[in-house]
Structure 1
């Protein structure tokens, strides 16, 4: 199996899902180096598009993501990492998931 890092300027989208609950925690990106570090250390590493560097999830907060499983989509250009989320917080806002807001609830018409 080959991950296709060529389609999007060397990056692939990565969905993080919590092991046990199946809750979607976040969306990030990996380049080949971040992917290799993740496989080697079993701690999820991403590529920060804003900082233009690799970062280990939780490197400042301690809320790391321990890799349990890694799934590859049918086109081999998107990854699903199944993780143990240490600290029960994946989002930089302090929320468990980055997907804690509902578009429809926030935009109710009265």
Structure 2
């Protein structure tokens, strides 16, 4: 049996993928993967996701330059969630310019931003635009 056949893909052929920093364990982001993106992630040793909004493969860092180098891949007990232990090159996983997409904390009845912007997102994407 192919290792990809052991995954319980959802009805759209996707599986949630959580990227964590390989040293600190901090959750950086969550995205979706299909068979092709997961296979390519292992082959290229870098995070490649399936972008539902774009309807295509999305190599993390293709626009920002902030690539996720794969260190370890894990599958949960129900075989329906992937964890990628990654090295976040450039230190920024979130399109908002923060280290993590999980920068809001529920406190006192509302969401509070607790992580600062490391780099202005307009500058990140402008630097890596080749137009």
TM-score, length of structure 2 as denominator length: 0.77
Instruction: Note the 1:32-71 alignment, pairs <5 A.
Output: 32-71=35-74
The match for 1:15 is: 18
Higher Rg: 2
Task: Structure 2: give runs of 5+ residues left out of the alignment.
Answer: 112-131
Which shows bigger deviation, 62-71 or 7-16? 7-16
1:30 aligned to which of 30, 33, 49: 33
Q: How many Å separate the matches in 1 of 2:94 and 2:108? A: 20
2:95 aligned to which of 85, 92, 95: 92
Q: How many Å separate the matches in 1 of 2:42 and 2:99? A: 24
Compare relative contact order (CA 8 Å, sep 6+) and give the higher one, 1 or 2: 1
Alpha-carbon spacing, 1:105–1:48, altered in 2? closer, same or farther (3 Å) = farther
The match for 1:79 is: 82
Q: How many Å separate the matches in 2 of 1:61 and 1:4? A: 31
Measured after TM superposition, the shift of residue 107 of structure 1 is 1.4
RMSD: 1.4
2:8 aligned to which of 4, 7, 11: 4
Provide the secondary structure at the position in 2 that maps to 1:103: strand
